[in-house]
Structures are given as C-alpha cells and as structure tokens.
Amino acid sequence: NYAALIQQQINEDKQNLREKTLYGVQLTEEKLNDFRDEQIGQLKELMDEATKPNKNITISKDLEHKT
C-alpha cells in the first residue's frame, strides 16, 4: 500500500510540477509508539538519507526481479 501511495504522489507531483514535495504520510505519535526502538532508528536513518540535499531519485519499474 505504501509503495502505491508513493507512486501516486510521484505521479501527482509530475503533473503539478511543485518545487518541493513531501512523500509518504505523517506518522501519529500513537503509531510511532507501536514501533520498537530499532525500527525508530531505521526510520530516522531513512529520513536522514531521504532529506539530504541534491538527491536525484529515479523510480523505475523493473520487468524482472533482480537477485
């Protein structure tokens, strides 16, 4: 579901040509409390990587899964 949401947001962004787009959804404190400490750390690392300046992100659909 999350991948579909991101793809939808990317498609909408291409149509609207916004300068800065936020992808994903905001997690509530209640949902964050359901995560283990390790998962919170992983989310923080992901956020840090995703918000680094000058990132060029390309999303493509592979016809085959790569191993």
Query: Which pLDDT tens digit goes with each residue over 8-17?
Result: 888 888 777 7
Helix (H, G, I), strand (E, B) or coil at 48: helix
pLDDT higher than 60, residue 42? yes
For the chain, what is the mean pLDDT?
A: 79
- Using CA atoms, how far residue 23 sits from 34, 37, 40, 42, 65, in Å, is 21, 23, 18, 17, 24
Choose between 67 and 32: higher pLDDT: 32
The domain spans of the chain are: 2-51
pLDDT score at 62: 62
Q: Distance between CA atoms of 34 and 30, rounded to whole angstroms?
A: 7
